[in-house]
Chain A
Amino acid sequence: SQQGEEDPQALSIQEGENATMNCSYKTSINNLQWYRQNSGRGLVHLILIRSNEREKHSGRLRVTLDTSKKSSSLLITASRAADTASYFCATDEGSNDYKLSFGAGTTVTVRA
């Protein structure tokens, strides 16, 4: 079963707007990662946030983690057409550190 679940399933925004998507998970984690998948391509790692971190930035990306609510959010600021992709959160399973569980993803469409 999937550990992480993204919300919303799909998001359509205008270029220049911000995009926010959320991820909820069920069990304790060591860290949470976000990946991007462009259509017909493999997943690309975006950012990792550890369980003892609350917020992390990378360029136009901002990730938050609330372990008390078992949730994370990914914010893409000033979106571009090239940000059109599916975004997945991936969580480990605690004891099995190597094993990542991916959510179903949020499909983001950025309109020019």
Chain B
Amino acid sequence: DAGVIQSPRHEVTEMGQEVTLRCKLISGHNSLFWYRQTMMRGLELLIYFNNNVPIDDSGMPEDRFSAKMPNASFSTLKIQPSEPRDSAVYFCASSLQGWSYNEQFFGPGTRLTVL
């Protein structure tokens, strides 16, 4: 298996533009996590899906952020409109079942820069 796949790996955009980040889960995994990593705030959980259903989106910063899971193997995180403070590395991670006793497999991340 190729592991969790994220695209793009790097994204540079201007303030106000829409940004879409993509994630492909490991085959057979049924849980998906989107994280954001910054120097100031560390690694923060944005949203958690289990069996394609959003279970916890309390970490989504504001309405500009939205996430979908149109099928069992794919997810998108959209920021519209983007702002400079959204600059960060965004990771998705997948696991079986989603319970914490199962390890999470992280993708390589998308480094987002909003100018």
Contacts and interface: CB of A to CB of B under 8 A. Distances in A.
Given A96-B56, A97-B99, A98-B98, A42 B42 contact: no
A98 B50 CA distance: 10
A50 interface: yes
- Looking at B4, B43, B50, B100, which has the most chain A CB atoms within 10 Å of its CB? B100
Contacts of B106: 35, 42-44
Contact of B109 (A42, A50, A96, A105): A42
A51 B103 CA distance: 16
Given A42-B91, A98-B98, A48 B103 contact: yes
B4 A42 contact: yes
Contacts of A97: 99-101
Contacts of B45: 99-101
Size category of the B interface is 20 to 34
Nearest to A46: B103
Contacts of B34: none
A98 B31 contact: yes
Interface in A29-46: 30-31, 33, 35, 41-45
A41 B108 contact: yes
Given A90-B100, A98-B56, A100-B104, 6 more contacts: A31-B100, A43-B104, A97-B101, A98-B99, A98-B100, A105-B42
Interface of A: 2, 30-31, 33, 35, 41-45, 48, 50, 88, 90, 92, 96-105
